[in-house]
Structure 1
Amino acid sequence: MKASDAMDITEELNAINCTEDFNAAEIMERLKKTLGIRTDVKLSKLLGIESNTLSTWKARNSLNFRRIITVGRKYGLDLNILFSNVDISRSYHKSMVAIPREYQYQYVNNRNKDSFINEMPRYNFPYIGNHNTRAFQVLDFSLFSTDKGTSYAIGEWVGHTEDILNGEIYILVNRTHGVFIGRVDINNNIPGTLFLINEDAGEMPYKTKIYISDIVEIWKVYSVVFSRHFVKKEGASAS
């Protein structure tokens, strides 16, 4: 991406599936409705993309979240409603354990220790899924928050690697390298491995190879909380 790009963003963020029933076309329609835009052509111009790019997003059910969030922040949109179509004032998942970025490597070896988990901060997040959930700080998303470090990917527990679905977004805890978040790409010709795709890393997506035997914990991402305005802190925090 050139320095002259209209989007004043110096770092990229991972493309993260914001709801379990993620639908790019619906997000685009909500964005148009919120901004009072009638056509895809006008929306494309606002986003700084070609019309065929917008059509490709809908066809692939994939988005450039960097651009969407930049526009959302510029016009003061509620990003949780935009991506999840949920009014967060209605209900909250209380006291969800949240793993800050600086503790995620320690989390690998201490995830089953009550003494460690009890030291982690707990937050009230918008309630969308069931109770078997956990939040992981997403460093890149903090670029779009009022306060750095207040963006979290919310994951639902997945019990077995066999339950990982190709093309979905996951938080994977690797026994050697820590916590990874991205879209899963399974190549059946390479047994025992999977790839995590960062779809919004500049012009070309890149893949991270992960050995399935090294995966010790799995969370399927179904929501992202972007700002301190959408999170009510509760209880002690890690220090």
Structure 2
Amino acid sequence: MSLLADNIRYLRNRLDYSQQKVADDLMITRGRYAKYEDGASEPPIDILVRMSRYYNVSIDLLVTVDLRKYSLNEILKLPDNRILLPVKVDRHGANVIELVPHRATMGYLQGYADPEYIESLQTISIPFLGPGKYRAFPAEGDSMPPHPDGSYIIGRYVESIDDLKAGKTYVFITRNEGITYKRLQARVGDELELSPDNALYHSYRVHLADIYEIWEFACSIATREFAKGEVQGDNIAIMRMLGELKEEINNLKEGNKSQGME
């Protein structure tokens, strides 16, 4: 709770309030409040809630982030009381983008809400991106042509589920799949129907409760040269035809099973 002590002292001084005023407003004694600022004792949950409401800062921020390092006006406040680090820019005013490396994709599930983990990621800047919070994720597998395995998808953070648009592609951080890049087909109640662009794979649904974060596609970075004809329309058409053929075979198998049962 040492961060809490530093934070409430910082917030009080920022408002230019005395310890007595804050203590009176929180309906506790000045001596008790002073112990919280000194780190001599820890506040019970009811006092912690009062502090959070008093300073208009989430409990998560109060106890996990050194607020002296960041501007509160720049921190994205999320509906589920989680936090995202501030929107940063470099000395030229371009967005600073955290890069999640391939080897750290599994670690991201444990660290996506940890400010220290996010700060440890390497960063890049791309000047033409508009306002918003951006992060780069590795593309893996062959489900989303023409983005090859090893490329990076740069996504803009989606703050509200209502901002999603059918037909657009997003990076979804989910409980079961981890980091996955898919196209949104539709929202069906409390679920999202997602589909890969590779016709060999089927669409599926993900419950909203299993989604941690959503990042809308902003741009991509290829890390290797494309082979000749690798992303030509003919290849995509072939994959689509193979997908349709696979589906027809499955339908024939199901039909044969039904006839056998009769």
Give TM-score, length-normalised by structure 2.
0.44
Which protein is richer in strand relative to its size?
1
Q: Which has the higher helix share?
A: 2
Higher relative contact order (CA 8 A, sep 6+): 1
